[in-house]
Amino acid sequence: MRAVIQRVTQASCTVDDVITGQIENGLLILLGIEEDDSTIDMEWMAQKFVNLRIFSDEQGLMNKSIQDINGNILLISQFTLYAQTKKGNRPSYIRAAKPPIAKPMYEAMAKQLSDLLQKEVQLGIFGADMKISLLNDGPVTIMMNSKDKDNY
């Protein structure tokens, strides 16, 4: 499982000119799912997302988590995080999980995050052509990979 986490002051997802999810003050999480990802990967990532201390405290230091600030999450499925660009100029997405595996895992991640935060997580629409708008705060952008826990 791979993720790009962005600290935002606002973010939204629009599909066919309809807003499907929007937040203020929180995290925009782009989530890529691989065929062999498991609930262990999902649970590890979810814990990381809600406990990352990347929000400023009273002294301006990044010491607070999304839970500490009562922030929100906009979770977007993003198979292109598994792009392989080694050969040629057209990326291959062969490592990304197919929809029958990826969609339930994406939905399970949304539920896991909602349970941990005790509030609804905002979503995009799996597989749709989504337009994402955000105001990155900091900017703070972090990449994570559940298969490389030692480096994240």
Q: For residue 137, give its domain range.
A: 2-144
Whether 130 shows a pLDDT value over 90: the answer reads yes
Q: Is 22 a catalytic residue?
A: no
Torsion from C-alpha of 61, 63, 67, 68, nearest 10 degrees: -70
Is 32 a member of any domain? yes
Q: Is 78 a catalytic residue?
A: yes
In this predicted model, what pLDDT tens digit does every residue of 24-35 receive, in sequence order? 999 999 999 999
- Spatial separation of the C-alpha atoms in residues 28 and 22, rounded to whole Å: 10
Whether 149 shows a pLDDT value over 90: the answer reads no
Number of domains in the chain: 1
CATH number for 39 = 3.50.80.10
Q: Which residue has the higher pLDDT, 150 or 147?
A: 147
Is 36 a member of any domain? yes
Which of these is catalytic: 9, 39, 47, 80? 80
In this predicted model, what pLDDT tens digit does every residue of 38-78 receive, in sequence order? 999 999 999 999 999 999 999 999 999 999 999 999 999 99
Is 152 a member of any domain? no
- Helix, strand and coil content of the chain, in percent to the nearest 5, comes to 30, 40, 30
Is 125 a member of any domain? yes
Is 61 a member of any domain? yes
Does residue 139 have a cis peptide bond before it, meaning omega lies within 30 degrees of 0?
yes
Is 70 a member of any domain? yes
Whether 152 shows a pLDDT value over 80: the answer reads no
Report yes or no: 102 and 96 within 8 Å, Cβ to Cβ: yes
